[in-house]
């Protein structure tokens, strides 16, 4: 697992700090990130407002009126090391199934992905829907899951010119990752299908259906929902 011997701390403005635990995209490293997030939350470290897990680091928001950056870093490093030592990835919290219609108007780039992979469209769908994908992180819009575990044969470059508007629920591929657009937005991922599941609702609690550390499973259906 590509972890550092000691976390690296990098200020992110005057109310946040990045705690980097390693480098690269690795499921065990990402599990370590989530274990740290859970440990910090459980310890109720003074001044910490929120933790945001990414691939290999945590963005830790804190209240500068309650703690100084140096004191926060010291408090984090004194947490029980046994809780975040090396080991197997922690158990996933949830598997989210997303009924997905592939191809046609819902997946206008499916043919391009198939051509790039040297496969038929049905083979692409079969491969894409055969994996439970790890949610490494959330971004670039609210509720957007960055999913790892895509079969390398399906890796496809982004569009050279991004679309100005992508429908909510669109399932896409970009390089070695797959993801789902939770809201209508611009984007350059190759669209291969769409789910009607509403991934983000600001009025709900929690607002996002998917959480970092979850698994996502795409379930192929037809236009009639079967």
Per-residue pLDDT for 84 more than 90? no
Does domain 3-84 fall under CATH 3.30.565.10? My reply is: no
Domain map of the chain by residue range?
Answer: 3-84, 95-221
DSSP H or E stretch at residue 60: strand 57-62
> Looking at the whole model, is its pTM more than 0.85?
no
Does domain 95-221 fall under CATH 2.60.120.10? My reply is: no
pLDDT tens track for 189-206: 999 999 999 999 899 888
pLDDT tens track for 100-138: 999 999 999 999 999 999 999 999 999 999 999 999 999
């Amino acid at each position: 697992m590509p972890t550092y011997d000691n976390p690296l701390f990098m200020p992110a403005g005057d109310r946040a700090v990045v705690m980097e635990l390693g480098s690269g995209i690795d499921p065990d490293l990402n599990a370590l990130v989530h274990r740290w997030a859970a440990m910090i939350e459980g310890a109720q470290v003074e001044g910490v407002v929120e933790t945001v897990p990414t691939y290999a680091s945590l963005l830790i928001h804190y209240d500068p009126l309650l703690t100084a950056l140096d004191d926060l870093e010291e408090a984090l490093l004194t947490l029980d090391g046994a809780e975040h030592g090396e080991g197997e990835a922690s158990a996933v919290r949830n598997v989210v199934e997303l009924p997905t219609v592939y191809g046609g108007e819902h997946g206008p780039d499916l043919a391009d992905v198939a051509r790039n992979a040297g496969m038929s469209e049905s083979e692409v769908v079969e491969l894409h829907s055969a994996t439970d994908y790890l949610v490494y992180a959330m971004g670039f819009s609210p509720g957007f899951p960055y999913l790892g575990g895509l079969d390398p044969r399906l890796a496809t470059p982004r569009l050279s010119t991004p679309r100005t508007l992508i429908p909510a629920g669109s399932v896409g591929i970009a390089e070695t990752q797959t993801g789902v657009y939770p809201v209508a937005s611009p984007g350059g991922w190759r669209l291969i299908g769409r789910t009607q599941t509403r991934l983000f609702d600001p009025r709900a609690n929690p607002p996002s259906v998917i959480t970092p550390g979850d698994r996502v499973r795409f379930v192929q259906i037809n236009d009639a929902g079967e």
